[in-house]
Amino acid sequence: MKTALVTTIAALVAVTALAAPASSATPSERRLARQVKTLQRQVTTLNRQVRTLQRQMREVGSIARAGLVYSACFTAATSDAFQGTWETIDQLSAAIGQPDRYPAPAPVTDPLNSCQDLELQRQPNSVPPSTNVFAGLLNLFR
């Protein structure tokens, strides 16, 4: 659309310049010249708006990526805490002679390495579970 608009303006300018006689411009030529000036201002305004929208889209993309990394780390930390809780329950059950109730903990993999990107240390198999990772996630907002 932008290319077509610029091409149209260039064609109008060329037609106006070539068709203009040495004498004064006719009313239709003056009207056409005003339209060309109006279109040029509109193109300038539209170009400014496009640059603004492109910048805003880059910002939105950055925020979305940060949200994804944060969510992935939060999910991995929550998984670690749950498994640490279950392991604690199993240890208490074993102390009173009861069998294990939950399977052995297996840390959830974090394919994005999101916690490392946020410079947070996960604590898989921590018994009893700790809230240090959650505190670190919340401290990111300070």
pLDDT band at 85 (very low <50, low <70, confident <90, very high): confident
Say if residues 134 and 120 touch (Cβ distance below 8 Å): no
pLDDT band at 16 (very low <50, low <70, confident <90, very high): low
Q: Give, as one character, the DSSP assignment of residue 104.
A: P
Instruction: Yes or no: say if 115 and 77 are a contact pair by the CB < 8 Å rule.
Output: yes
- Whether the per-residue pLDDT at 58 is higher than 70: the answer is yes
- pLDDT at residue 74 above 80? yes
For residue 118, what is the DSSP state?
A: T
